[in-house]
């Protein structure tokens, strides 16, 4: 009997030992599954052409009244307080200059009015006088070599001027007011306000000759006009984007039911709206979203390979951004 009891105890002891070994092995397998593995970073493909300049820059100036353009691969921003240059590679630069409220930008060329003179500065270099004018321009537009400006006539209406031999040369006398002006290939294009809430698109050659115009239309005068490669404007009341022939005889609608202000046109039309930027194909196809963002865009520029825009972020600050197209 005593032998049986001893055998039973031995068997129980062996079972307990085997059970403990099994539990320990199970615990080790479970812990092995739960044990955190070391973190490894996922591979990131290097961009083919990394940009040294930031894609987004915040500046302590108002977003309203600024102009932006491309000078080659350099993004240029002009404000009443000066010029900022953002090259594709390398550090940005700033030139403090009092451009005032009446100035125009093309590439990195700035023309502005001060003390009875029209002054010119390129790439932020010291300005020099290019002509004397008797009164301050109301509006100005420039290309790399050309210049046009508008003054309000004393008897009413508007006068368009260009610079010739260092002095002002009148190119058109209009009965209505002009608040929108663009310049391209030796022609000034503008919207003229007419009587009883009417308007028309006009053009005047800088070399002299009679101005041309479209038919009078009713409604609010369009505030957005681009004339670089394409003569394009946005009609706010009808929410439509138009492309017009240079002789102003043909008006083609590129987009309907869209908001497109401000806009920029080169070999494509880029529109800004609350919510981002989109492209309108020149063949009249569907709009293509380019950038999705919040905020109010106040300026847009299109270059050969890049797109830039300015957004109002409040408290007298703006954000300027650029991206490749």
Nearest to 69 by CA among 257, 288, 262: 262
Does residue 24 have a pLDDT over 70? no
Q: Is 248 exposed, middle or buried (0-12, 13-18, 19+ CB in 10 A)?
A: middle
> To 10 degrees, the CA torsion angle through 99, 134, 209, 241?
30
Q: Which of 273, 205, 271 is nearest to 241 (CA)?
A: 271
Residue 95: its pLDDT value, please? 96
Q: How many CB atoms lie within 10 A of CB 125?
A: 11
Provide the 3-class DSSP secondary structure of residue 3.
helix
The continuous run of DSSP H or E covering 112 comes out as: strand 109-114
Q: Which two tokens stand for residue 215?
A: 């038919």
The reported pLDDT for the residue numbered 89 is 84
The listed range with the strongest mean pLDDT (42-46, 201-205, 265-269, 304-308) is 201-205
Output the pLDDT for position 136.
Answer: 94
What is the pLDDT confidence band of residue 5, given thresholds at 50, 70 and 90?
A: very low
C-alpha–C-alpha distance, residues 10 and 122, integer Å: 101
**Mean pLDDT along residues 33-57:** 40
Report residue 305's pLDDT band, with 50, 70 and 90 as the boundaries: confident
**Hey, what are 102's tokens?**
């009446």
Looking at per-residue pLDDT, the higher value among 3 and 279 belongs to: 279
Residue 99 has pLDDT above 90, yes or no: yes
How does pLDDT run across 214-262, given as a tens digit for each residue? 999 999 999 899 998 889 999 999 999 999 999 999 999 999 999 999 9
DSSP result, 244-280? E-TTS--EEEEEES----SEEESSSEEEEETTEEEEE
Mean of pLDDT values over 80-100: 94
Please tell me the pTM assigned to this model: 0.81
Which of 253, 245, 291 has the alpha carbon at shortest distance from 272? 291
Specify the 3-state DSSP secondary structure of 7: helix
Q: Which fold has domain 58-324?
A: Methylamine Dehydrogenase; Chain H (2.130.10)
Cα–Cα distance measured from residue 231 to residue 244, given in angstroms and rounded to the nearest whole number: 5
CA distance linking residue 31 with residue 23, whole number of Å: 12
pLDDT value of residue 208 = 92
Tell me, what's the pLDDT at 27? 41
3-class DSSP assignment, residue 157: coil
Q: How many whole angstroms separate alpha carbon 8 and alpha carbon 244?
A: 106
Task: Summarize pLDDT for 164-216 with one digit per residue, the tens.
Answer: 988 999 999 999 999 999 999 999 999 999 998 999 999 999 999 999 999 99
d(CA 173, CA 194) in angstroms, rounded, equals 14
Cα dist from 313 to 80, 210, 290, 302, whole Å: 18, 45, 20, 22
Q: Quick one: which of 213, 214, 215, 243 has its CA closest to 231?
A: 243
Q: Residue 23 corresponds to which tokens in the numbers above?
A: 């539990």
Rounded Cα gap, residues 43 and 62, in angstroms:
40
Q: Which residue has the higher pLDDT, 50 or 90?
A: 90
Give 308's pLDDT tier (boundaries 50, 70, 90): very high
Q: Cis bond leading into 304, ω under 30°?
A: no
- Please confirm whether the linkage preceding 262 is cis (ω < 30° from 0): yes
Q: What is the mean pLDDT of the chain?
A: 84
CB contact at 8 A, 137 and 149: yes
Looking at residue 51, its pLDDT comes to 41
pLDDT band (50, 70, 90) for residue 11: very low
Calculate mean pLDDT across residues 85-112.
Answer: 94
* pLDDT for the residue numbered 143: 93
With cut-offs at 50, 70 and 90, classify the pLDDT of residue 52: very low
Any idea where the domains of the chain sit in the sequence? Answer: 58-324
């Amino acid at each position: 009997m005593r032998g049986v009891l001893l055998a039973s105890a031995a068997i129980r002891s062996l079972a307990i030992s085997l059970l403990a070994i099994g539990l320990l092995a199970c615990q080790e397998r479970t812990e092995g599954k739960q044990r955190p593995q070391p973190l490894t970073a996922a591979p990131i493909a290097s961009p083919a052409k990394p940009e040294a300049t930031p894609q987004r820059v915040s500046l302590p100036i108002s977003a309203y009244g600024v102009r932006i353009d491309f000078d080659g691969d350099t993004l240029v921003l002009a404000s009443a307080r000066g010029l900022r240059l953002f090259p594709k590679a390398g550090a940005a630069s700033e030139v403090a200059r009092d451009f005032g409220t009446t100035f125009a930008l093309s590439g990195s060329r700035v023309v502005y009015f001060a003390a009875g003179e029209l002054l010119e500065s390129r790439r932020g270099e010291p300005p020099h006088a290019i002509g004397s004018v008797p009164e301050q321009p109301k509006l100005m537009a420039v290309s790399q070599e050309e210049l046009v400006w508008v003054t309000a006539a004393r008897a009413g209406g508007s006068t368009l001027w260009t610079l010739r031999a260092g002095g002002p040369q009148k190119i058109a006398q209009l009965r209505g007011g002009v608040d929108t002006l663009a310049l391209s290939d030796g022609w000034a294009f503008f919207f003229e306000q007419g009587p009883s809430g009417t308007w028309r698109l006009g053009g005047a050659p800088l070399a002299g000759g009679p101005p041309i115009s479209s038919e009078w239309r009713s409604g609010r005068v369009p505030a957005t006009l681009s004339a670089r490669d394409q003569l394009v404007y946005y009609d706010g009341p009808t929410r439509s984007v138009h492309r017009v022939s240079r002789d102003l005889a043909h008006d083609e609608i590129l987009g309907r039911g869209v908001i497109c202000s401000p806009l920029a046109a080169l070999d494509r039309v880029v529109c800004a709206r609350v919510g981002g930027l989109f492209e309108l194909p020149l063949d009249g196809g569907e709009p293509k979203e380019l950038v999705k963002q919040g905020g109010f865009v106040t300026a847009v520029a299109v270059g050969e390979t890049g797109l830039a825009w300015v957004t109002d972020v409040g408290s007298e600050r703006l954000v300027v951004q650029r991206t490749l197209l």
